C-alpha cells in the first residue's frame, strides 16, 4: 500500500491507547506495525509470517472483522493494512516530537 505515513513514523515502544477501543486489539496493532517496520513498508503479509514474527498463533482480536475492518483479508489469503489502521496507529503513537 502506498501511504505517506511510513511504519517507521509510528512509535511502537508505547501502547496505542484508545486507538481501537480495547487493549487486546491495540496490542495486536502494535505487533502488526512492528512487522511492517521489519519489512520496511506496508506490504501484504500472511498468517504464517505474523505467526513466525510474534512467535505464537496470532489472533487479530477483531481488527480483521466488521463492516470496516482495520486489517483486510485478501482473496489470496494474505492480509493488508487499511488507511484507517495506519492513521489510527499514527495518531495514537507518532514517532515525532510535538512542537511546543
Identify the pLDDT of residue 98. 60
Q: Where are the domains of the chain?
A: 7-92
Tell me: the pLDDT tens digits for 10-27?
Answer: 999 999 999 999 999 999
Q: Could you tell me if 92 and 18 are in contact, meaning their C-beta atoms sit under 8 angstroms apart?
A: yes
Task: Say if residue 1's pLDDT is above 70.
Answer: no
Q: What stretch of H or E contains 31?
A: helix 23-39
What digits encode the pLDDT tens for the residues 46-84? 999 999 999 999 999 999 998 889 999 999 999 999 999
Q: What are phi and psi of 75, to 5 degrees?
A: -60, -30
Considering the entire predicted model, what is its pTM?
Answer: 0.92
In the chain, beta strands by DSSP E: 71-73, 79-81
Amino acid at each position: 500500500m502506498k501511504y505517506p505515513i511510513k511504519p517507521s513514523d509510528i512509535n511502537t515502544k508505547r501502547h496505542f491507547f484508545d486507538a481501537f477501543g480495547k487493549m487486546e486489539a491495540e496490542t495486536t496493532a502494535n505487533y502488526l506495525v512492528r512487522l511492517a517496520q521489519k519489512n520496511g513498508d506496508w506490504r501484504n503479509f500472511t498468517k504464517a509470517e505474523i505467526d513466525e514474527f510474534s512467535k505464537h498463533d496470532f489472533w487479530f482480536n477483531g481488527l480483521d472483522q466488521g463492516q470496516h475492518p482495520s486489517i483486510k483479508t485478501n482473496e489470496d489469503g494474505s492480509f493488508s493494512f487499511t488507511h484507517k489502521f495506519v492513521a489510527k496507529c499514527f495518531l495514537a503513537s507518532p514517532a515525532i516530537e510535538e512542537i511546543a
